Amino acid sequence: MPLTTAAMPLQFDAATITRLSTSGPRYTSYPTADRFNPDFGYGSYLEAVAGQKMRGGGRGPLSLYVHIPFCDTVCYYCGCNKIVTKDRSKAATYLSYLKQEIGMQGKLFSGMNQLAQLHFGGGTPTYLSDRQMEELMAHLRENFAFAPDEEGEYSIEIDPRTVSRDRVHSLRAQGFNRVSLGVQDFDPDVQKAVNRIQPEAETLAVMQAARDAGFRSISIDLIYGLPKQTLDTMRQTMAKVIAAGPDRIALYNYAHLPHLFKPQRRILDADLPPANVKLDMLALCIRALTAAGYVYIGMDHFAKPDDDLAVAQRQGRLHRNFQGYSTHAEADLVAVGVSAIGSVGSTYSQNEKTLDAYYEKLDQGSLPVARGIKLNTDDLLRRMVIQKLMCNFELSIASIELAYPLRFADYFAAELEQLRALEQEGLVSIDSEWLSVTLKGRLVVRNICMVFDRYLGMPRAQDQGAANVQPLRYSKTI
């Protein structure tokens, strides 16, 4: 059955999606992380924080990301920065260094350390024991001033296989009020193929425990395009997910990159669904979710109409950062932990990616900043344009001209010429006041944003003298 606007707030055009599907950024930042450079280090980060203080103590409450890299077992599909180990002593060592970094960041942001958003990601944050998590949260509260529970968003990613009902209630008592569950697929054969055996009953029990504990929002992560998946298995999984009724659903396209991620080499190419079937899976999922009343937020996210993400989008307050879509626009993002990426003022920075390098920097008494970038005026302008399109699917040209001393049509003349071709295909609408992504164009919004990305096609610093190629870690836009 073809999808129509009567069934969803977007149009599914398989031919357009197939033709435009290419490798491209997810725009959790602009410029994207592959443009960070090692010239931006600890000193540059200190300057960025000092600059925020000079401008009046920052622009409001902070967002804090905590990276816990450890996993007990490896999921074959995973491309995250993780450390698979059953040696729990490694987590204890990591926590001692993580607390040191948190203390340094807390002092650095003294006077502007009000926290309105917290996210624990990984890896598997619940790899930590209940006592370790309690001590870590207490340490965070010693260094940052948490907004009241009803005002703040404090979320944690959970592997349902690692928690009991009591642990879920304990997490709520420790201050978390939102939870994200990794599910990927309910089908047993698919789970076996990706080495993630997770019975449906186990996942549903954790969801019920979260509701009983008073979590305000429950999110589920799903992946389409996994080995052994078929349209029938996907249909069954979606029916079970919808029946479970999570507040948010993230539906990711599996990116098979075995040359980059060793665990994926255990997945047989022959077990992967072909591209046309993956597209049918996406159509099936969109149809099922929108028919069930979920709102298409953008990219791969859906939410119930009364969820904060959907409300923020309707009110034009939606933002996008390294954790995906967020309701806290323009909040400085402080990131702690190995490989974590933060955003302070007009800069981005990333921590060291290996434990040894991370520990070494902290032993030297410096924050473990490995690389980053300071945005110039053009970067800030293009970031604003891309953010508006990614979050709201429309852009007020007048608002850009008020924020920057330019005439939009002149500054972006080359980009508008490219967009005219997309306009003729019915993907965008352009007039003197607005640039809007149509219902047909929403699923390819990344392609539309790529028009404004001046770095695409330019060699990265690490590629100087090498072939001018796109970063290999870009995923397919659809």
What pLDDT digit, counting tens, does each position of 337-350 carry?
Answer: 999 999 999 999 99
Any known ligand binding at 77?
yes
Is 354 within the bounds of a domain?
A: no
Q: Is 391 annotated as a binding residue?
A: no
255 annotated ligand-binding residue = yes
124 known ligand binder: yes
Cβ contact 310:316 at 8 Å:
no
Q: How far apart are alpha carbons 137 and 142 in whole angstroms? A: 9
- Confirm whether 473 is domain-assigned: no
pLDDT bucket at 435, cuts 50 / 70 / 90: very high
Same domain flag for 322 and 381: no
* 14/83 same-domain check: no
Nearest residue to 339 (alpha-carbon basis) of 43, 137, 123: 123
Provide the total of helices (H) and of strands (E) in the chain, helices listed first: 16, 22
Is 221 annotated as a binding-site member?
A: yes
Residues 251 and 322 both lie in one domain: yes
Domain that holds residue 399: 1-31+376-458
Judgement on whether residues 271 and 406 belong to the same structural domain of the protein: no
In a domain, 150, yes or no: yes
Q: What is the largest CA-CA distance in the chain?
A: 61
Q: Is 200 annotated as a binding residue?
A: no
Q: How many domains does the chain have?
A: 2
User: Which of 273, 301, 334 is a domain's end point?
Assistant: 334
Whether 88 and 26 share a structural domain: no
Q: Is 244 helix (H, G, I), strand (E, B) or coil?
A: helix
| pLDDT confidence bin for 352, thresholds 50/70/90 | very high
* 324 has a pLDDT exceeding 80: no
Task: Quote the pLDDT of residue 247.
Answer: 97
157 marked as binding residue: yes
Question: Which of 277, 304, 334 marks a domain boundary?
Answer: 334
Residues 321 and 406 in one domain: no
Inside any domain, residue 415? yes
Mean pLDDT lowest among 17-26, 249-258, 367-376, 455-464 = 455-464
Nearest to 289, CA basis, from 326, 324, 248: 248
Q: Is 341 annotated as a binding residue?
A: yes
Tell me, what DSSP letter sits at residue 268? -
User: Are both 284 and 432 inside the same structural domain?
Assistant: no
Between 404 and 473, the more confident residue is: 404
Does a structural domain hold residue 468? no
Could you tell me if 53 and 14 lie in one domain? Answer: no
Residue 120 lies in a domain: yes
User: Which of 388, 473, 475 is CA-nearest to residue 35?
Assistant: 473
The pLDDT tens digits for 82-105 are 899 999 999 999 999 999 999 999
Determine the Cα–Cα distance for residues 372 and 34; give it in Å rounded to an integer.
Answer: 10
Q: Average pLDDT of 390-400?
A: 93
| Same-domain check for residues 138 and 172 | yes
CB neighbour list of residue 243: distance below 8 Å, 6 or more residues apart = none
User: Where a domain ends, among 274, 300, 334?
Assistant: 334
Distance CA 211, CA 179 (A): 10
Q: Is 122 annotated as a binding residue?
A: yes
First to last CA, the chain: 20
> Per-residue pLDDT averaged across 472-476, rounded?
56
Query: What's the mean per-residue pLDDT of the chain?
Result: 90
In angstroms, the CA 419 to CA 435 distance is 10
Q: What CATH number should be reported for the domain holding residue 109?
A: 3.80.30.20
* The pLDDT of residue 19: 80
Q: At residue 244, does pLDDT exceed 80?
A: yes
CA count, 13 A, side-chain hemisphere, 375: 21
The reply to whether 65 sits in an annotated binding site is yes
DSSP 3-state assignment of 65?
strand
> Using an 8 Å Cβ cutoff, are 393 and 442 in contact?
yes
Residue 340 lies inside a defined structural domain of this protein: no
Q: What contacts 24+ positions apart, CB below 8 Å, involve 398-403?
A: 398/433
For residues 10 and 111, membership in a common domain is answered with: no
Q: Residue 340 corresponds to which tokens in the numbers above?
A: 């974590």
CATH number at residue 406: 1.10.10.920
| Per-residue model confidence (pLDDT) at position 299 | 79
The percent of residues above 70 in pLDDT, for the chain, comes to 93
Domain assignment of residue 64, yes or no? yes
Q: What is the mean pLDDT of residues 231-243?
A: 96
Whether 3 shows a pLDDT value over 60: the answer reads: no
What's the rounded Cα separation, in Å, for the pair 240 and 233? 11
The DSSP-derived string for 406-449 is S-HHHHTHHHHHHHHHHHHTTSEEE-SSEEEE-TTTGGGHHHHH
446 is in an annotated binding site: no
Split at pLDDT 50, 70, 90, the class of 193 is: very high
CA distance 266 to 263: 6
pLDDT per residue over 260-300, tens digit each? 888 999 999 999 999 899 999 999 999 999 999 999 998 78
Q: Are residues 208 and 327 in the same domain?
A: yes
Residues 177 and 57 in one domain: yes
Would the pLDDT of 416 be above 90?
A: yes
Closest to 203 measured CA to CA, from 259, 165, 152, 154: 165
